[in-house]
């Protein structure tokens, strides 16, 4: 789940459709855990941990992972002499 120390955490998925499916399952479980309380009672809150697991801990982690998945292979970061630049991969 984590890249090298220089790269920082990696929350990306193998593909954008897979990441969107994880988001659908995660957000659906979180919303369902709250929305089903009137019908199922407090038992519906069992869905909340499943939703957090699908989102890899939090909705913001999922959002960061979506951006990483979309930009993977397209953006390249390079740091020299304390200055970092972000460029499109393949361009110099």
| pLDDT attached to residue 24 | 96
The rounded radius of gyration (Å) of the Cα atoms in the chain is 18
For the chain, which ranges sit under pLDDT 70? 1-9, 73, 89-92
* pLDDT single digits (tens) 7-29: 566 778 888 899 999 999 999 99
User: Residue 58 has what DSSP assignment?
Assistant: S
Domain ranges of the chain: 16-88
| pLDDT attached to residue 5 | 44
Global pTM?
0.68
| pLDDT attached to residue 90 | 63
């Amino acid at each position: 789940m984590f890249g090298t120390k220089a790269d920082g955490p990696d929350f990306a998925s193998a593909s954008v459709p897979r990441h969107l499916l994880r988001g659908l399952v995660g957000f659906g479980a979180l919303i369902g855990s709250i929305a089903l309380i009137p019908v199922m009672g407090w038992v519906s809150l069992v869905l909340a941990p499943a939703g957090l697991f699908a989102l890899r801990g939090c909705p913001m982690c999922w959002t960061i992972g979506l951006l990483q998945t979309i930009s993977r292979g397209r953006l390249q970061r390079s740091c020299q002499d304390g200055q970092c630049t972000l460029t499109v991969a393949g361009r110099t």
